[in-house]
Chain A
Amino acid sequence: MTFLRSILLRREAGILIMIVIFCAAVGLYKPQFLTGQSLRIVLLLTPLIMIGAMAQMLVLVARHVDLSIGSMLGFSAMVVGLMYREIPDIYWLVGFPVAILTGAILGLGNGLLVTIFKLPSIIVTLGTLSLYRGLTFIISDARQINRSVIPTELKAMSRTSPIFDIPWIILIAFGIAGITYVIARHTQLGRQIYALGSNPEAAPLRGIDVTKVTLIVFTLAGALSGLAGILYASRWGFVNPSNTGAGFEFQVIAAVVIGGVSINGGVGTVMGTVLGVLLLGCVAAALPLLGIPGSTQNAIYGAVILIALLIDRSVRQRGMISVAGAAK
Chain B
Amino acid sequence: MLKKSMIAATAALALSAGMSAAEDIDIVFVGKNTGNPYFDSLTQGFVDACEVIACNFEFVAPATAEATSQIPFLEAQIQRGVDVIAISPNSPDALNQVFQSARDQGILVLTVNGDITGNEQFRDATILPTDFTKVGADQIEMVGSLIGYEGEIAILSATTEAPDQNFWIEGMNETIANDPKYANMTLVATVYGDDQPEKSTTEMEALLANYPDLKGVIAPTTVGIAAAAQVVQSRGIADQVKVTGLGLPSEMREFIKDGTVEGFQLWSPYNEGWLASHFAVGLKNGTMTNEVGATFEVPNLGTITINDGNSINTQSALTTFNAENIDDFDF
Closest chain B residue to A297, Cβ basis:
B199
Is B35 in contact with A243, judged by CB distance below 8 angstroms?
A: yes
Is B35 in contact with A32, judged by CB distance below 8 angstroms?
A: no
The residue from A33, A241, A285 contacting B35, defined by CB atoms under 8 A apart: A241
Closest chain A residue to B157, Cβ basis:
A294
Is B210 in contact with A294, judged by CB distance below 8 angstroms?
A: no
Closest chain A residue to B33, Cβ basis:
A242
Is A243 in contact with B196, judged by CB distance below 8 angstroms?
A: yes
A168 beta carbon closer than 8 Å to chain B: no
Interface flags for A35-67 (1: CB within 8 Å of B; 0: not) read: 001100100110000000000000000000000
A295 beta carbon closer than 8 Å to chain B: yes
Given A148-B250, A148-B253, A291-B210, A242 and B34 contact (CB-CB distance below 8 Å): yes
CB distance from A294 to the nearest CB of B (A): 4
Given A32-B210, A45-B202, A293-B192, A144 and B254 contact (CB-CB distance below 8 Å): no
Is A242 in contact with B226, judged by CB distance below 8 angstroms?
A: no
B151 beta carbon closer than 8 Å to chain A: no
A33 cross-chain contacts in B, Cβ below 8 A: 209
CB distance from A300 to the nearest CB of B (A): 13
CA of A140 to CA of B33 in the docked complex: distance in angstroms?
15
Is B233 in contact with A159, judged by CB distance below 8 angstroms?
A: yes
Is B205 in contact with A285, judged by CB distance below 8 angstroms?
A: yes
Given A236-B197, A284-B202, A288-B191, A294 and B159 contact (CB-CB distance below 8 Å): yes
CA of A55 to CA of B114 in the docked complex: distance in angstroms?
42
The residue from B35, B159, B202, B253 contacting A143, defined by CB atoms under 8 A apart: B35
A residues 201-251 near B (Cβ < 8 Å) are 236-238, 240-243
Closest chain B residue to A284, Cβ basis:
B202
CA of A295 to CA of B35 in the docked complex: distance in angstroms?
24
CB distance from B264 to the nearest CB of A (A): 14
Is B234 in contact with A142, judged by CB distance below 8 angstroms?
A: no
B213 beta carbon closer than 8 Å to chain A: no
Is A45 in contact with B209, judged by CB distance below 8 angstroms?
A: no
Interface flags for A127-161 (1: CB within 8 Å of B; 0: not) read: 00000000001001011101110001001001100
B209 cross-chain contacts in A, Cβ below 8 A: 30, 32-33, 37-38, 289
Is B192 in contact with A242, judged by CB distance below 8 angstroms?
A: no
CA of A45 to CA of B196 in the docked complex: distance in angstroms?
13
B160 beta carbon closer than 8 Å to chain A: yes
A residues 300-328 near B (Cβ < 8 Å) are none
CB distance from A120 to the nearest CB of B (A): 26
By secondary structure, the B interface counts as helix
B194 beta carbon closer than 8 Å to chain A: yes
Is A143 in contact with B250, judged by CB distance below 8 angstroms?
A: no
Interface flags for B159-170 (1: CB within 8 Å of A; 0: not) read: 110000000000
Given A146-B251, A148-B250, A148-B254, A159 and B203 contact (CB-CB distance below 8 Å): no
CA of A159 to CA of B254 in the docked complex: distance in angstroms?
15
Is B199 in contact with A294, judged by CB distance below 8 angstroms?
A: yes
B40 beta carbon closer than 8 Å to chain A: yes
The residue from A148, A242, A289 contacting B210, defined by CB atoms under 8 A apart: A289
Interface centre among A37, A288, A295 (most CB of B within 10 A): A288
Interface flags for B248-274 (1: CB within 8 Å of A; 0: not) read: 001101100000000000000000000
CB pairs A–B below 8 angstroms (29 shown): A30-B209, A32-B209, A33-B209, A38-B209, A44-B234, A45-B198, A142-B34, A143-B35, A144-B36, A144-B40, A146-B250, A147-B251, A147-B254, A148-B250, A148-B251, A152-B254, A155-B254, A158-B234, A236-B230, A242-B34, A243-B35, A285-B202, A288-B191, A288-B205, A288-B206, A289-B205, A289-B209, A294-B192, A294-B203
3 cross-chain pairs, A with B, having the tightest CB-CB distances, nearest first: A288-B206, A142-B34, A241-B35
Interface residues of chain B, those whose CB is within 8 Å of chain A, are 33-37, 40, 61, 63-64, 159-160, 189, 191-194, 196-199, 201-203, 205-206, 209-210, 226, 230, 233-234, 250-251, 253-254
